[in-house]
């Protein structure tokens, strides 16, 4: 009995992931990160450009932490809600502003630690594999919370594989990190795009709109 209640509530929670919009938006963010890391190799070291690029990492972080969910909601408002209905979820801890600010500083601290560790070891070749494994854990946690969406297992496997492959690619550190973000960003966008296409095919827009009562 209690299991039935939980299953219904999980099905409602799973609805948020049904359209693949999340993967598309996060994939675009990863492509921005790929450009950032590739940019470090392209730009002349003796100009101000690398410093400006460092500043843009902050911008990408802020964009990622503070606006991703809002961006996803804007797309959902135009694509998902008119087709299959609107749901307002309780904000999880990550959605609250104080938590977002906390995550922002944790992310900055984490990047700083990675840089210090990399300089201490004398190489950053391990970094794509490490990030790939980290993303893969996050995806498995999402899969556990949104039961029955096996695509997160496949994405977790892809993240781990691409991370390790980039680490062993033999490319310079900036390029291998860039390669990981670019490849995984593309995988996310393709997967999200395919999920969205399937969703749109299965749920054509109702003529009469959503206000049906």
Q: Which residue has the tokens 């399937």?
A: 198
Q: Taking a C-beta distance cutoff of 8 angstroms, is the pair 166, 31 a contact?
A: no
CA-derived radius of gyration, the chain: 19
CB of 95 to another protein, least distance (A): 12
Residues at the interface with another protein (CB under 8 A): 1-2, 5, 8-9, 11-13, 15, 77-78, 81-82, 84-90, 206, 209-213
Nearer to another protein, 7 or 54 (CB): 7
CB of 139 to another protein, least distance (A): 22
Nearer to another protein, 87 or 190 (CB): 87
CB of 211 to another protein, least distance (A): 4
How far apart, in Å, are the Cα atoms of 113 and each of 59, 116, 171?
Answer: 19, 5, 22
How many angstroms separate the CA atoms of 109 and 102, rounded? Answer: 11
CB of 65 to another protein, least distance (A): 22
- Token pair of 131, please? 């990030």
Nearer to another protein, 74 or 106 (CB): 74
Q: Taking a C-beta distance cutoff of 8 angstroms, is the pair 118, 172 a contact?
A: no
How far apart, in Å, are the Cα atoms of 206 and each of 16, 17, 72, 130?
Answer: 19, 21, 21, 45
Nearer to another protein, 67 or 84 (CB): 84
CB of 96 to another protein, least distance (A): 14
How many angstroms separate the CA atoms of 104 and 114, rounded? Answer: 15
CB of 25 to another protein, least distance (A): 18
Q: Give the residue among 31, 25, 16, 7 at the shortest CA–CA distance from 184.
A: 31
Q: Taking a C-beta distance cutoff of 8 angstroms, is the pair 181, 57 a contact?
A: no
């Amino acid at each position: 009995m209690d299991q039935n209640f939980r299953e219904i509530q999980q099905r409602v929670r799973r609805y948020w992931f049904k359209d693949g919009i999340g993967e598309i938006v996060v994939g675009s963010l990863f492509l921005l990160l790929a450009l950032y890391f590739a940019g470090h190799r392209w730009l002349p070291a003796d100009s101000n450009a690398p410093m400006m690029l460092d500043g843009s990492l902050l911008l990408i972080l802020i964009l990622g932490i503070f606006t991703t969910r809002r961006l996803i909601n804007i797309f959902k408002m135009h694509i998902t809600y008119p087709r299959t209905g609107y749901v307002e979820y309780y904000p999880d801890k990550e959605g609250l502003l104080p938590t977002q600010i906390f995550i922002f500083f944790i992310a900055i601290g984490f990047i700083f630690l990675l840089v210090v560790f990399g300089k201490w070891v004398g190489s950053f070749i391990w970094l794509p594999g490490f990030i790939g494994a980290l993303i893969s854990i996050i995806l498995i946690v999402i899969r556990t919370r949104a039961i029955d969406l096996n695509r997160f297992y496949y994405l977790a496997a892809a993240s781990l594989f691409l991370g390790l492959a980039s680490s062993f690619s033999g490319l310079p550190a900036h390029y291998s990190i860039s390669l990981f973000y670019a490849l995984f960003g593309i995988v996310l966008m393709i997967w999200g795009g395919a999920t969205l296409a399937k969703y749109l095919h299965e749920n054509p827009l109702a003529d009469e709109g959503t206000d049906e009562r």
